[in-house]
Structure formats: C-alpha cells, structure tokens
Structure 1
Amino acid sequence: MGAEENAGEAPRNRRSWTRTAMLAVAYVVIWVALWHAVDRLNQLAGVNLWVPCAGLTFAILLEYGWRSLPLPLLATLLAGWSHNGFGERWPYSLAASLAPLLGYLIAACILRHRPGGKRPGAWRFDDPRRVAAFLGAVMLGTLFAALAGAPLLQAAGLSPPMLSWLEMVGQEWMGAFIGIVTIAPLALIFIAPLARRFVRKEPLHLLKTVPSVESPSVRLGILQGGVSVMLIVALLWMPLPQWLDQSYPFMTLLLLPVLTWIAATHGVRGTTPTVLLYQLSITMLVMDFTLQELALQYQLAMAVIAASGLLTGAVSQARLVDIGRFRDLAEVSNDILWEFDNHGRLCDLR
C-alpha cells in the first residue's frame, strides 16, 4: 500500500515542479517586459518617476523569502543584457542594478520575521499596524537601495548631469518606494493566491486573501469611477500649469479625497487598483509637460497617494470586517438578548 502511495506521489510532485517552473518563467518574462516598457516611457517623459519592477521584486521576496532571490536577480541580468549589455562601464552599472536587491531582501526578511510577531504565510493588508510596518520597512529598504545605487550610477555615467548627488538619491529613493507600495500589494492580494492555487492544481477562482464584507452597490462604484475619471481628465488637460500660486505637481493630491472615499466603501481590495490607476495617470501627465526640477515634486505626490491609499484602505478594511462580524453576531443572537442595526450598533437590549 505504501509503495502504491509513493508511486502516485511522484507524478504529483513532478506536476507541481513543472507548474512552479512555469510560474518562474512567467515571472521573469513579465519582469523583463515591464522593465523595457517603463524604460521606454522614461525616455519619452525625460524623467524616471517610479520603478514598478521593484514592486514585483519585493512582492516575491516577501512571499517566498530569500529562496526566491534568483528570480529577480536573473530578471535584472536579462533586462540589462538585452538593453545595452550594461554599457562600457559594465562593472559599475551591473553593481548599480544588483545593489538594490540587498535592500529589498533585508526589508522583506524583517517583515517575514518581525520581532514579537508570527511569521506570515500570505501577507495581508487588512491590519493597519501591519501596513504601517510594511511602509516603514519599504522606506528603509528603498533608502538603503538608493544610497547604495546612486554612487554606482554616477560611476557608470548613467546619472543625469543636472542633478546633485543628494537629488539623485532622493529621486531613486522615491521611485523605488512608489513602485513597491503600488505594485507589491496588488501582486500579493490578487496574483499570489492564484499562483498558489495553480501550483496545487486547484480551481483558479480568486481567493479572499483580505477578508471582505458584502460588496457595495454597482451604482456607487460607477459614481466613484466617474468622479475619478473626471478628476484625471481635468488634471491631464488643465490649461494652466499653476493654480493659486501653488506648484502644479501637488494639484494631483486632489485625487486623495476620492481615494479615501473609495477606501471607505471598498477597503484595500478596491484601493490598490485605484492607486495604480492614479499613478499611471500622473505618469501620462508627466509625459505631456514636465521639467526635470519638478520630477521630485511629482514623486512626492505619488508617494503620498500610494502610502495614504494603502494605509487608509487597511483602516477601512479592518472597520468593514468588524462591521461584518457584528452583523454575523447579530444574526446569531438576535433572538436571545440583543440586536444590531446595519452599521453594527446595538439598537435594542432585551
């Protein structure tokens, strides 16, 4: 009997390894394709606002730890080699490409083995304290990456000549931070559960990695989407670069109230795609007209939108989950002692 079980286990293990290899290849291909797309957009815009590939790197490191480091390492090498072979000063440019990985790995390991906490299986974004720890670790990891990478970029001759060392560190820091805070939650909430089920050969319906309550109405979602689109269109085609003597990049913060509204009704699962939409819209805005000296201001606005959206979404998600639990308790105890209204408040004691 044991021999038969072992004989049946071997094909299952082979299928699991085959599916894992397929996911690994898909990850590297997507990483390299995204890198080339962003590089092309940066050439058109003239500035490097954010690094989406950093989000893919941090997501897989946070999900699987140091064992997954070869995948972003291979993707980085392939992207640099396919672009220009890392240039004439390839030792410096190669080191500048690989140095940020150490900062991301340290930050991911801190989150996976944080003091006083349990090692997370699937990282969740429904706890404000966890999200605050995530933002803090990402900020420190990206700062380390910027401090390590900026001198190497200057030595490789790849730094913009008009930027000082401090300005270059600031732009590299903000770009990596925006990329991780925007892309990593999306990948961990929506993609990682599907990848785990694909490896286990289970149905590929989206698991609720983040607890949710009943969905808001479709009309509310349409209204929120319409308001977002109108604000984005207004920002893209606004005739004047300044309003009320305020710097134009910070006018993008007008999107924050709508983002807070979406977070309050949809939680973190609705906030993360909205943040991505806003970041892409700001990138399009920069492609229309942007001076190099305004790039850091745009980055600050994008960082505020990404961080506040993720934190607000976590707070709202925790509140929505608590309301859902109160509703479940009300259904069980309605006929015993008390009852609650639709907002989870005690309305009658018997």
Structure 2
Amino acid sequence: MSSSTPLLTVDELSVVFHRRGSDDVRAVDGVSFTLEEGRVTGLVGESGCGKSVTSLALMGLLPSRGLTVGGSARMRLPEGETDLLSLSPSRMRDLRGAQLAMIFQDPLSSLNPVIPIGLQVTEILRRHRGLRGSAARKEAADLLHRVGIPDPTRRLREYPHQLSGGMRQRALIAMAVACRPKLMIADEPTTALDVTIQAQILELLRDLVVEEGTALLMITHDLGVVAGLCDDINVLYAGRAVEAAPRGPLFAEPTHPYTVGLLGSVPRLDAPRGEPLTPVRGSVNDNIAWTDGCAFAPRCDHYTMKCLRGAPELVHASEEHAHRCVNPLAGERAADRAVQESPAAVGDEEARG
C-alpha cells in the first residue's frame, strides 16, 4: 500500500436501522478502511453484507430518520480535513458532484427518464462549475466523447430509454467525472452489462483513476472485477471487514474461510472441464451476532469452539494483510485447501473443540 496521506479515512463506521417492535439491524458494524488518490479500493462480499449501505453513508444519502450512523469518515478537502458524517445536508449537497461522486448500479433508474441526457449532464456543470448555455453543452458533449459515447452532440438530445445499457452507464460516469472529484464510489457499475461492455467500463474507470489521480471505491461481489481493477481489497461479511489486503497477497494467500469460499465460487479457465464450483454453503442470513462469536461460523467448514467465544478481533498477519479469524487458513495455498476439504471431512463439533 502507498505510504502517502489517505484522501479518506473511515474509522469504525456503523449504521444501525431501528425497527419499531423488533430488534435493531446493524447493517454496518465497525468498518474501517482508507482510500488513497490514484488507487482503487474494493469492498467485496455477498448481497446483504453492508457494502451499499457503507457507500450511502459516506455520500450522505441515507434517510434522516430511523437509523443511527456512528464512527467517522475524515476526508481531505480544500478547506482542510473534514468528517463527512458530521456535515449538514446542504454542505453535503455542495460536495456531491464537486469533491465526491457516485456511480449507481442501475443506470436506467438513476437517470431521470423524462429529461434529456444533455440537461442532466449540464445541470452538474451549472451547479458546480458555473457553466451556462453553449459552453455547458460543449463541455457536456466533450464529457460524453471522453467516456466513449459515439456522436455525443446527438446523444445530448436523447432520453435515457434511447440509449443502450452500456451508454447509460457511460453517461452516469460522465456525470460523475464532470467536476473531476477527488473521490468516486462505484456501486456494482457493471452488474447489468454484458461481458464485453463490462470490460470497457472497467478499463474506462481505471483510466480515469490514473489520469485524474482519483480515489475510487469499487463495490462488487465479482472477484473477477476485483482482480482486474482493485489495488486494495476489503472483504465484508455481516457488516464487518473479515479480511483486508492488497490484491496480490489476498489472491495468492487468502486466510479467512469466507474469502476462500468466494474465490472457490469463481469459475476458472484452467480448471478441468466439468469440475463443479464450490460455493459457500448456506446464505448470508445464516449467521450469529458478532457479540456471540464469528458471524460466519454457521457457514464455515473450519470453525472450532473458539470461534463461538466472543467477537474475533481484526488481526494483522503481516503489515499489509489482516483477517478477523481465530482459525485462519495458512501454510499451503488456502484456496486449494478449501477445495480439497468438504463439510464431510470435518469432524463433529466436540472433536473440533
């Protein structure tokens, strides 16, 4: 990891939803990470692990009632370091688009269907850069051209439904980079796109990070996307980071069983034809409270009784590699070990304890 001062430092971020007549839901439970300029950081995990809620909290887009947000998210701004979580709604509106921007998962629902693309792009230019009239339209066309949309002048007059899925996603990216923000968050930006368009969008995002020195937070469940784009990776489960490392060490020697399970679920081109995938058994709802032990224990093939004796701490196996596991996989390649061992190969609970 780079030794430079982080652009954003998230420390013990928590988001708790309050439900009348029922228990609170801890969607995010003490997540910490840093974002650095010119680097891509990944938040990885299954749906329901807290990735999108984390991003919405950072952008100030969560509802104002019915939840509690804790921790801090300190960002370097022109006026000095500021905690994004403590800012007023009006101040966050000033920052969104100018200093931080978000690319949402579904471009069709993120764009206004009854307003031409050009007006939606120029609105940002008017709001944050003071451009008007022909100057704003020319800049909007240049932005669409930059993100690879053909015939951008004509596209400015078209509505979202007239654009393909790939073009709509590119239009969202054009809006996100219109004011050259220092921080961008991309929430599953390639989920609804075919493989060819996915590759083009990821290449575009990487180019923007390199050219502008932007810090990009990439939220995804796809480890193939992570392998090709992210520099640093945080694996989330049940609202907490269970493993964090740069891309190389995490893929070469994963230590948390959940990370190993995610890797085992990805098809490999070098695997023998017909070899089945090894998905993580159960679902993300099959967990226990972190206060009682490791939330992943009910789905883990390698847990011991130690895993049920309170919340495991985030332990640094090396300077760059950390995991939240009392029984980490180590020594041989953890990914290979996970494939070789099955639930039937693990003894009963008493023997393991």
* Superposed pair shares fold, TM > 0.5: no
- Structure number with greater Rg is 1
Relative to total residues, which structure has the larger strand share, 1 or 2? 2
Relative to total residues, which structure has the larger helix share, 1 or 2? 1
TM-score after normalising by structure 2? 0.22
TM-score after normalising by structure 1? 0.22
